[in-house]
Amino acid sequence: MAGVSEYEYDLLVIGAGSGGVRAARMAATTGAKVAIVEDRYLGGTCVNVGCVPKKLYSYAAHYHDSFDDAAGYGWQLPGPASFDWSTLRDNKISEIKRLNGIYQRMLEGAGVTLINARASLADAHTVTLHEEQRDSTVTAQKVLLATGGWPWIPEFPGSEYAVDSNQVFDLETSPKRFLVLGGGYIAVEFASIFNGLGSETHLIYRGELFLRGFDQQVREFTCAEMERKGVNLHFNTNIERIEATQDAYNVYLTNGNMLEVDVVLAATGRKANIQGLGLDKVGLELDETGKIPVNDRFETACPSILALGDITPGPELTPVAIAEAMHLVESHFKEGTPEALDYTTIPTAVFCHPNIGTVGLSEEEAREKFTNIRVYSTNFRAMKHTLSGSHERTLMKLVVDDATDVVVGAHMVGDDAGEIIQGIAIAVRAGLRKHDFDRTVGIHPTGAEEFVTMRTLTRT
Protein backbone atom coordinates (compact mmCIF):
# COMPACT_ATOMS: atom_id res chain seq x y z
CA MET A 1 0.00 0.00 0.00
CA ALA A 2 1.39 3.39 -0.92
CA GLY A 3 1.76 6.06 1.71
CA VAL A 4 -1.02 8.61 2.10
CA SER A 5 0.57 12.04 1.74
CA GLU A 6 -1.75 14.07 3.96
CA TYR A 7 -0.73 12.02 7.02
CA GLU A 8 2.71 11.35 8.44
CA TYR A 9 1.98 7.63 8.78
CA ASP A 10 -0.37 5.13 7.21
CA LEU A 11 -0.65 3.29 10.52
CA LEU A 12 0.24 4.43 14.02
CA VAL A 13 0.08 1.71 16.67
CA ILE A 14 -0.31 2.61 20.34
CA GLY A 15 1.10 -0.23 22.43
CA ALA A 16 4.01 -2.56 21.64
CA GLY A 17 2.59 -5.80 22.99
CA SER A 18 2.31 -8.98 20.95
CA GLY A 19 -0.71 -7.78 18.95
CA GLY A 20 0.58 -4.28 18.34
CA VAL A 21 4.04 -5.40 17.28
CA ARG A 22 2.68 -8.05 14.91
CA ALA A 23 0.28 -5.55 13.31
CA ALA A 24 3.04 -2.95 12.90
CA ARG A 25 5.50 -5.41 11.37
CA MET A 26 3.02 -7.02 8.99
CA ALA A 27 1.59 -3.68 7.85
CA ALA A 28 5.12 -2.42 7.16
CA THR A 29 5.80 -5.39 4.89
CA THR A 30 2.98 -4.21 2.60
CA GLY A 31 4.79 -0.92 2.01
CA ALA A 32 2.81 1.07 4.57
CA LYS A 33 4.61 3.71 6.60
CA VAL A 34 4.21 2.57 10.19
CA ALA A 35 5.12 3.85 13.65
CA ILE A 36 4.54 2.26 17.06
CA VAL A 37 4.36 4.16 20.36
CA GLU A 38 5.26 2.54 23.69
CA ASP A 39 5.97 4.11 27.08
CA ARG A 40 6.81 1.03 29.12
CA TYR A 41 8.41 -2.10 27.63
CA LEU A 42 8.47 -3.97 24.35
CA GLY A 43 6.53 -7.22 24.21
CA GLY A 44 3.68 -6.12 26.47
CA THR A 45 2.18 -8.15 29.28
CA CYS A 46 3.01 -11.56 27.80
CA VAL A 47 6.76 -11.08 27.55
CA ASN A 48 7.30 -8.92 30.62
CA VAL A 49 4.76 -9.76 33.31
CA GLY A 50 2.62 -12.53 31.83
CA CYS A 51 2.99 -15.77 29.91
CA VAL A 52 6.77 -15.83 29.59
CA PRO A 53 7.86 -15.22 33.21
CA LYS A 54 4.87 -17.21 34.48
CA LYS A 55 5.90 -20.26 32.44
CA LEU A 56 9.51 -19.91 33.60
CA TYR A 57 8.33 -19.82 37.22
CA SER A 58 6.05 -22.79 36.54
CA TYR A 59 9.04 -24.74 35.23
CA ALA A 60 10.94 -23.85 38.38
CA ALA A 61 8.10 -25.05 40.58
CA HIS A 62 7.86 -28.39 38.76
CA TYR A 63 11.40 -29.29 39.81
CA HIS A 64 10.18 -29.78 43.37
CA ASP A 65 8.04 -32.75 42.28
CA SER A 66 10.75 -33.99 39.90
CA PHE A 67 13.30 -34.26 42.72
CA ASP A 68 10.81 -36.25 44.81
CA ASP A 69 9.84 -38.47 41.86
CA ALA A 70 13.47 -39.26 40.97
CA ALA A 71 14.05 -41.41 44.06
CA GLY A 72 11.75 -44.15 42.76
CA TYR A 73 13.91 -44.34 39.65
CA GLY A 74 17.10 -44.84 41.64
CA TRP A 75 18.39 -41.29 41.79
CA GLN A 76 19.78 -40.17 45.15
CA LEU A 77 20.47 -36.46 45.55
CA PRO A 78 23.45 -35.58 47.75
CA GLY A 79 21.16 -33.77 50.19
CA PRO A 80 17.82 -32.00 50.52
CA ALA A 81 17.20 -29.73 47.54
CA SER A 82 17.16 -26.01 48.29
CA PHE A 83 15.65 -23.20 46.28
CA ASP A 84 17.15 -19.73 45.74
CA TRP A 85 14.50 -17.19 44.77
CA SER A 86 16.96 -14.49 43.68
CA THR A 87 18.56 -16.81 41.09
CA LEU A 88 15.19 -17.50 39.46
CA ARG A 89 14.12 -13.86 39.61
CA ASP A 90 17.36 -12.44 38.23
CA ASN A 91 17.67 -15.05 35.47
CA LYS A 92 14.10 -14.22 34.49
CA ILE A 93 15.00 -10.53 34.29
CA SER A 94 17.93 -11.33 31.98
CA GLU A 95 15.75 -13.46 29.71
CA ILE A 96 13.12 -10.72 29.41
CA LYS A 97 15.78 -8.17 28.51
CA ARG A 98 16.91 -10.53 25.76
CA LEU A 99 13.35 -10.80 24.46
CA ASN A 100 12.87 -7.02 24.62
CA GLY A 101 15.92 -6.68 22.37
CA ILE A 102 14.52 -9.22 19.91
CA TYR A 103 11.26 -7.26 19.65
CA GLN A 104 13.18 -4.03 19.02
CA ARG A 105 15.29 -5.65 16.29
CA MET A 106 12.17 -7.12 14.65
CA LEU A 107 10.55 -3.69 14.49
CA GLU A 108 13.68 -2.03 13.19
CA GLY A 109 14.18 -4.78 10.62
CA ALA A 110 10.64 -4.24 9.32
CA GLY A 111 11.22 -0.50 8.99
CA VAL A 112 8.79 0.46 11.76
CA THR A 113 9.51 3.73 13.58
CA LEU A 114 9.63 3.15 17.35
CA ILE A 115 8.54 6.13 19.47
CA ASN A 116 9.20 6.01 23.21
CA ALA A 117 6.38 8.09 24.65
CA ARG A 118 2.93 7.91 26.15
CA ALA A 119 0.23 8.44 23.55
CA SER A 120 -3.33 9.75 23.64
CA LEU A 121 -5.88 10.43 20.95
CA ALA A 122 -6.40 14.06 19.93
CA ASP A 123 -8.82 13.42 17.08
CA ALA A 124 -9.65 10.74 14.52
CA HIS A 125 -6.23 11.03 12.83
CA THR A 126 -4.04 12.82 15.39
CA VAL A 127 -2.17 11.38 18.36
CA THR A 128 -0.52 13.43 21.09
CA LEU A 129 2.88 12.14 22.21
CA HIS A 130 3.59 12.86 25.87
CA GLU A 131 7.35 12.87 26.39
CA GLU A 132 9.54 14.07 29.26
CA GLN A 133 10.52 17.37 27.73
CA ARG A 134 7.44 18.31 25.74
CA ASP A 135 4.25 17.14 24.08
CA SER A 136 4.02 16.85 20.32
CA THR A 137 1.54 15.49 17.80
CA VAL A 138 1.71 13.00 14.96
CA THR A 139 -0.91 12.15 12.32
CA ALA A 140 -1.91 8.85 10.75
CA GLN A 141 -4.52 7.61 8.35
CA LYS A 142 -5.33 4.81 10.78
CA VAL A 143 -4.57 4.53 14.50
CA LEU A 144 -4.50 1.14 16.19
CA LEU A 145 -5.16 0.89 19.92
CA ALA A 146 -3.33 -2.15 21.31
CA THR A 147 -2.69 -1.14 24.91
CA GLY A 148 -3.76 -4.44 26.48
CA GLY A 149 -4.98 -4.98 30.01
CA TRP A 150 -3.81 -4.00 33.46
CA PRO A 151 -4.40 -5.79 36.78
CA TRP A 152 -6.72 -4.22 39.33
CA ILE A 153 -7.08 -4.75 43.08
CA PRO A 154 -10.49 -4.40 44.75
CA GLU A 155 -10.72 -1.91 47.57
CA PHE A 156 -11.05 -3.21 51.12
CA PRO A 157 -9.32 -2.27 54.38
CA GLY A 158 -5.63 -3.02 53.91
CA SER A 159 -5.84 -3.68 50.17
CA GLU A 160 -2.79 -1.43 49.74
CA TYR A 161 -0.71 -4.28 51.21
CA ALA A 162 -1.58 -6.64 48.35
CA VAL A 163 0.62 -7.00 45.27
CA ASP A 164 -0.75 -7.54 41.77
CA SER A 165 0.25 -10.07 39.11
CA ASN A 166 2.72 -7.59 37.59
CA GLN A 167 4.60 -7.14 40.85
CA VAL A 168 4.64 -10.71 42.13
CA PHE A 169 7.50 -11.81 39.86
CA ASP A 170 9.97 -9.43 41.49
CA LEU A 171 9.47 -9.95 45.22
CA GLU A 172 12.61 -9.30 47.24
CA THR A 173 12.44 -12.68 48.92
CA SER A 174 10.52 -15.91 48.49
CA PRO A 175 7.53 -15.95 50.87
CA LYS A 176 7.30 -18.77 53.40
CA ARG A 177 3.53 -18.20 53.50
CA PHE A 178 1.73 -17.07 50.36
CA LEU A 179 -1.92 -16.13 49.83
CA VAL A 180 -3.64 -15.43 46.53
CA LEU A 181 -7.09 -13.87 46.19
CA GLY A 182 -9.03 -14.87 43.07
CA GLY A 183 -10.50 -17.78 41.18
CA GLY A 184 -9.34 -17.22 37.61
CA TYR A 185 -6.47 -18.88 35.79
CA ILE A 186 -3.88 -16.37 37.07
CA ALA A 187 -4.80 -17.05 40.70
CA VAL A 188 -4.78 -20.81 40.18
CA GLU A 189 -1.43 -20.72 38.38
CA PHE A 190 0.31 -18.67 41.06
CA ALA A 191 -1.12 -20.85 43.81
CA SER A 192 0.52 -23.85 42.12
CA ILE A 193 3.75 -21.97 41.45
CA PHE A 194 4.38 -20.82 45.01
CA ASN A 195 3.23 -24.15 46.43
CA GLY A 196 5.77 -25.84 44.17
CA LEU A 197 8.48 -23.39 45.22
CA GLY A 198 7.96 -24.43 48.83
CA SER A 199 5.61 -21.78 50.22
CA GLU A 200 2.67 -22.63 52.46
CA THR A 201 0.01 -21.57 49.98
CA HIS A 202 -3.59 -20.44 50.37
CA LEU A 203 -6.10 -19.56 47.64
CA ILE A 204 -9.15 -17.49 48.62
CA TYR A 205 -12.15 -17.39 46.28
CA ARG A 206 -15.63 -16.02 46.87
CA GLY A 207 -17.30 -18.64 44.64
CA GLU A 208 -17.96 -22.32 45.17
CA LEU A 209 -15.19 -23.47 42.81
CA PHE A 210 -12.45 -21.74 40.81
CA LEU A 211 -12.01 -21.53 37.00
CA ARG A 212 -15.58 -20.50 36.21
CA GLY A 213 -16.34 -21.10 32.53
CA PHE A 214 -14.15 -24.20 32.25
CA ASP A 215 -15.58 -27.70 32.01
CA GLN A 216 -17.05 -28.70 35.38
CA GLN A 217 -15.30 -32.07 35.50
CA VAL A 218 -12.00 -30.36 34.71
CA ARG A 219 -12.58 -27.85 37.52
CA GLU A 220 -13.40 -30.54 40.07
CA PHE A 221 -10.49 -32.76 39.04
CA THR A 222 -8.02 -29.84 39.16
CA CYS A 223 -9.29 -28.87 42.59
CA ALA A 224 -8.69 -32.37 43.95
CA GLU A 225 -5.20 -32.60 42.42
CA MET A 226 -4.14 -29.19 43.74
CA GLU A 227 -5.32 -30.12 47.22
CA ARG A 228 -3.41 -33.39 46.91
CA LYS A 229 -0.28 -31.35 46.20
CA GLY A 230 -0.82 -29.29 49.35
CA VAL A 231 -2.52 -26.08 48.19
CA ASN A 232 -4.98 -24.83 50.82
CA LEU A 233 -8.18 -23.90 48.99
CA HIS A 234 -10.74 -21.66 50.70
CA PHE A 235 -13.97 -21.31 48.71
CA ASN A 236 -17.14 -19.31 49.47
CA THR A 237 -15.12 -16.71 51.33
CA ASN A 238 -13.37 -13.41 50.71
CA ILE A 239 -10.87 -11.08 52.34
CA GLU A 240 -12.49 -8.76 54.87
CA ARG A 241 -9.32 -6.85 55.73
CA ILE A 242 -5.54 -7.07 55.86
CA GLU A 243 -3.57 -5.82 58.84
CA ALA A 244 0.19 -5.35 58.71
CA THR A 245 2.28 -6.60 61.63
CA GLN A 246 5.98 -6.05 62.15
CA ASP A 247 7.07 -8.75 59.69
CA ALA A 248 3.91 -10.28 58.19
CA TYR A 249 0.26 -9.68 57.33
CA ASN A 250 -2.84 -10.87 59.16
CA VAL A 251 -5.55 -11.60 56.60
CA TYR A 252 -9.06 -11.69 58.04
CA LEU A 253 -11.59 -13.66 56.00
CA THR A 254 -15.36 -13.22 55.77
CA ASN A 255 -15.81 -16.76 57.16
CA GLY A 256 -14.28 -15.64 60.46
CA ASN A 257 -10.83 -17.19 59.97
CA MET A 258 -7.52 -15.33 60.06
CA LEU A 259 -4.38 -16.33 58.16
CA GLU A 260 -0.89 -14.97 58.84
CA VAL A 261 1.09 -14.74 55.60
CA ASP A 262 4.12 -12.99 54.12
CA VAL A 263 2.68 -12.00 50.72
CA VAL A 264 -0.87 -11.37 49.51
CA LEU A 265 -1.41 -11.50 45.74
CA ALA A 266 -4.64 -10.01 44.41
CA ALA A 267 -5.29 -11.90 41.16
CA THR A 268 -8.79 -10.55 40.79
CA GLY A 269 -8.79 -9.81 37.08
CA ARG A 270 -7.52 -7.32 34.55
CA LYS A 271 -9.19 -4.31 33.02
CA ALA A 272 -8.69 -2.64 29.65
CA ASN A 273 -5.68 -0.32 29.84
CA ILE A 274 -7.43 2.77 28.51
CA GLN A 275 -6.74 5.38 31.21
CA GLY A 276 -5.55 8.62 29.63
CA LEU A 277 -5.96 7.22 26.12
CA GLY A 278 -8.35 10.00 25.10
CA LEU A 279 -11.25 7.85 23.93
CA ASP A 280 -13.62 10.74 24.65
CA LYS A 281 -11.82 12.85 22.05
CA VAL A 282 -13.11 10.58 19.29
CA GLY A 283 -16.45 9.67 20.87
CA LEU A 284 -15.57 6.08 21.81
CA GLU A 285 -17.55 4.47 24.61
CA LEU A 286 -16.89 1.20 26.44
CA ASP A 287 -19.27 -1.74 26.50
CA GLU A 288 -20.75 -3.22 29.70
CA THR A 289 -17.54 -5.20 30.31
CA GLY A 290 -15.30 -2.13 30.04
CA LYS A 291 -13.98 -3.07 26.60
CA ILE A 292 -13.92 -1.17 23.28
CA PRO A 293 -16.43 -2.64 20.79
CA VAL A 294 -15.11 -3.39 17.29
CA ASN A 295 -16.47 -4.92 14.07
CA ASP A 296 -15.01 -7.81 12.04
CA ARG A 297 -12.39 -5.42 10.62
CA PHE A 298 -11.41 -4.30 14.13
CA GLU A 299 -12.81 -0.83 13.46
CA THR A 300 -14.26 1.07 16.40
CA ALA A 301 -17.23 3.45 16.20
CA CYS A 302 -14.69 5.90 14.75
CA PRO A 303 -13.62 4.02 11.56
CA SER A 304 -10.06 5.40 11.44
CA ILE A 305 -9.46 4.15 15.01
CA LEU A 306 -8.82 0.41 15.20
CA ALA A 307 -8.46 -1.77 18.28
CA LEU A 308 -7.47 -5.36 19.06
CA GLY A 309 -6.34 -7.65 21.86
CA ASP A 310 -7.26 -7.38 25.52
CA ILE A 311 -8.92 -3.96 25.23
CA THR A 312 -11.62 -5.47 22.98
CA PRO A 313 -14.24 -8.15 23.79
CA GLY A 314 -13.04 -11.72 23.35
CA PRO A 315 -10.47 -14.10 24.82
CA GLU A 316 -7.57 -12.35 26.60
CA LEU A 317 -4.88 -14.52 25.06
CA THR A 318 -1.63 -13.58 23.33
CA PRO A 319 -2.16 -15.86 20.30
CA VAL A 320 -5.62 -14.34 19.84
CA ALA A 321 -4.15 -10.82 19.72
CA ILE A 322 -1.57 -12.01 17.18
CA ALA A 323 -4.26 -13.67 15.03
CA GLU A 324 -6.32 -10.49 15.21
CA ALA A 325 -3.30 -8.45 14.12
CA MET A 326 -2.81 -10.65 11.06
CA HIS A 327 -6.49 -10.39 10.19
CA LEU A 328 -6.45 -6.61 10.67
CA VAL A 329 -3.52 -6.17 8.29
CA GLU A 330 -5.19 -8.37 5.68
CA SER A 331 -8.39 -6.33 6.02
CA HIS A 332 -6.81 -2.87 5.79
CA PHE A 333 -3.52 -3.19 3.94
CA LYS A 334 -4.07 -6.03 1.45
CA GLU A 335 -6.49 -6.76 -1.36
CA GLY A 336 -9.59 -8.83 -0.77
CA THR A 337 -11.66 -9.62 2.29
CA PRO A 338 -10.28 -12.24 4.70
CA GLU A 339 -12.48 -14.86 6.30
CA ALA A 340 -13.75 -13.71 9.72
CA LEU A 341 -11.84 -15.05 12.71
CA ASP A 342 -13.37 -18.10 14.39
CA TYR A 343 -13.25 -17.74 18.17
CA THR A 344 -15.10 -20.99 18.90
CA THR A 345 -12.18 -23.41 18.69
CA ILE A 346 -9.37 -21.47 20.35
CA PRO A 347 -7.23 -23.76 22.51
CA THR A 348 -5.92 -22.57 25.83
CA ALA A 349 -3.87 -23.86 28.74
CA VAL A 350 -3.73 -23.13 32.44
CA PHE A 351 -0.25 -23.71 33.83
CA CYS A 352 -1.34 -24.82 37.26
CA HIS A 353 0.01 -28.12 38.61
CA PRO A 354 -1.06 -30.34 36.99
CA ASN A 355 -1.56 -28.37 33.76
CA ILE A 356 -4.93 -27.90 32.07
CA GLY A 357 -5.35 -27.94 28.29
CA THR A 358 -8.69 -27.37 26.61
CA VAL A 359 -10.22 -26.65 23.21
CA GLY A 360 -13.80 -26.29 22.04
CA LEU A 361 -16.92 -26.71 24.13
CA SER A 362 -17.19 -27.84 27.72
CA GLU A 363 -19.62 -30.65 28.46
CA GLU A 364 -22.06 -28.09 29.88
CA GLU A 365 -21.86 -25.86 26.78
CA ALA A 366 -22.31 -28.86 24.49
CA ARG A 367 -25.45 -29.96 26.33
CA GLU A 368 -26.93 -26.52 25.76
CA LYS A 369 -26.02 -26.43 22.07
CA PHE A 370 -26.79 -29.96 20.90
CA THR A 371 -29.81 -32.24 21.34
CA ASN A 372 -27.68 -35.25 22.30
CA ILE A 373 -24.00 -35.59 23.13
CA ARG A 374 -21.61 -38.38 24.01
CA VAL A 375 -18.86 -37.98 26.58
CA TYR A 376 -15.73 -40.13 26.66
CA SER A 377 -13.33 -39.71 29.56
CA THR A 378 -10.49 -41.47 31.30
CA ASN A 379 -8.82 -40.84 34.64
CA PHE A 380 -5.55 -42.65 35.26
CA ARG A 381 -2.21 -42.65 37.01
CA ALA A 382 0.40 -41.90 34.36
CA MET A 383 3.10 -44.47 33.65
CA LYS A 384 5.72 -42.02 34.90
CA HIS A 385 4.26 -42.28 38.39
CA THR A 386 4.22 -46.07 38.64
CA LEU A 387 7.80 -45.96 39.94
CA SER A 388 7.92 -42.41 41.26
CA GLY A 389 5.40 -43.15 44.00
CA SER A 390 3.42 -40.02 43.15
CA HIS A 391 -0.35 -40.32 43.35
CA GLU A 392 -0.92 -37.61 40.74
CA ARG A 393 -3.60 -38.51 38.22
CA THR A 394 -4.43 -37.44 34.67
CA LEU A 395 -7.84 -36.65 33.19
CA MET A 396 -8.65 -36.76 29.46
CA LYS A 397 -12.05 -36.07 27.97
CA LEU A 398 -13.76 -35.83 24.58
CA VAL A 399 -17.19 -34.27 24.03
CA VAL A 400 -18.99 -35.43 20.88
CA ASP A 401 -22.12 -34.19 19.07
CA ASP A 402 -24.08 -37.42 18.76
CA ALA A 403 -25.91 -36.46 15.55
CA THR A 404 -22.77 -35.77 13.51
CA ASP A 405 -20.10 -37.69 15.50
CA VAL A 406 -18.00 -34.49 15.44
CA VAL A 407 -15.66 -33.94 18.40
CA VAL A 408 -16.72 -30.53 19.70
CA GLY A 409 -14.55 -30.38 22.81
CA ALA A 410 -11.34 -31.89 24.14
CA HIS A 411 -10.02 -31.42 27.66
CA MET A 412 -7.02 -32.62 29.64
CA VAL A 413 -5.56 -32.18 33.11
CA GLY A 414 -2.09 -33.61 33.50
CA ASP A 415 1.57 -33.32 32.56
CA ASP A 416 2.16 -31.29 29.39
CA ALA A 417 -1.57 -30.82 28.79
CA GLY A 418 -0.96 -27.63 26.82
CA GLU A 419 1.56 -29.35 24.54
CA ILE A 420 -0.82 -32.24 23.85
CA ILE A 421 -3.99 -30.20 23.37
CA GLN A 422 -2.26 -27.99 20.78
CA GLY A 423 -2.18 -30.95 18.43
CA ILE A 424 -5.70 -32.09 19.33
CA ALA A 425 -6.89 -28.53 18.64
CA ILE A 426 -6.10 -28.97 14.95
CA ALA A 427 -8.46 -31.94 14.81
CA VAL A 428 -11.23 -30.10 16.67
CA ARG A 429 -10.76 -26.99 14.49
CA ALA A 430 -10.98 -29.20 11.39
CA GLY A 431 -14.27 -30.71 12.60
CA LEU A 432 -13.03 -34.29 12.73
CA ARG A 433 -15.34 -37.02 13.98
CA LYS A 434 -14.88 -39.40 16.86
CA HIS A 435 -14.55 -42.08 14.15
CA ASP A 436 -11.43 -40.24 12.89
CA PHE A 437 -9.95 -40.25 16.38
CA ASP A 438 -10.72 -43.97 16.72
CA ARG A 439 -9.01 -44.76 13.41
CA THR A 440 -5.84 -42.90 14.42
CA VAL A 441 -3.06 -45.19 15.66
CA GLY A 442 -1.70 -44.19 19.04
CA ILE A 443 1.93 -43.68 20.04
CA HIS A 444 2.76 -46.20 22.75
CA PRO A 445 3.54 -45.83 25.57
CA THR A 446 2.36 -42.23 25.99
CA GLY A 447 -0.40 -40.57 27.91
CA ALA A 448 -1.50 -38.76 24.76
CA GLU A 449 -2.52 -42.05 23.09
CA GLU A 450 -5.53 -42.14 25.38
CA PHE A 451 -7.15 -39.50 23.15
CA VAL A 452 -7.35 -42.05 20.32
CA THR A 453 -8.06 -45.17 22.40
CA MET A 454 -11.09 -43.97 24.38
CA ARG A 455 -13.80 -46.31 23.10
CA THR A 456 -16.01 -46.82 26.16
CA LEU A 457 -18.80 -44.29 26.48
CA THR A 458 -18.72 -42.52 29.85
CA ARG A 459 -22.16 -40.90 29.64
CA THR A 460 -24.64 -39.32 27.27
Q: Mind telling me the catalytic residues?
A: 444
Q: How far apart are the first and last CA of the chain?
A: 54
C-alpha span between 253 and 397 (Å, rounded): 36
Q: How many of the other CB atoms lie within 10 Å of CB of 38?
A: 25
C-alpha span between 90 and 210 (Å, rounded): 31
Q: What angle do CA 154, 160, 165 make, to 5 degrees?
A: 65
Nearest to 308 by CA among 108, 83, 14, 93: 14
CA atoms 367, 370, 374, 375: torsion sign: negative
DSSP H or E segment with residue 344: none
Alpha carbon of residue 199 to chain centroid: 23
Nearest to 32 by CA among 146, 142, 147: 142
Nearest to 267 by CA among 208, 197, 185: 185
Nearest to 179 by CA among 194, 159, 166, 169: 194
Helix (H, G, I), strand (E, B) or coil at 389: coil
What are the two backbone dihedrals, phi and then psi, of residue 103, each rounded to the nearest 5 degrees?
-60, -40
Contact 282, 288 (CB under 8 A): no
Pairing of strands 270-272, 149-151: antiparallel
Nearest to 215 by CA among 349, 375, 317, 361: 361
C-alpha span between 263 and 249 (Å, rounded): 7
Contact 281, 121 (CB under 8 A): yes
Helix (H, G, I), strand (E, B) or coil at 251: strand
Count Cα atoms within 13 angstroms, Cβ side, for 266: 22
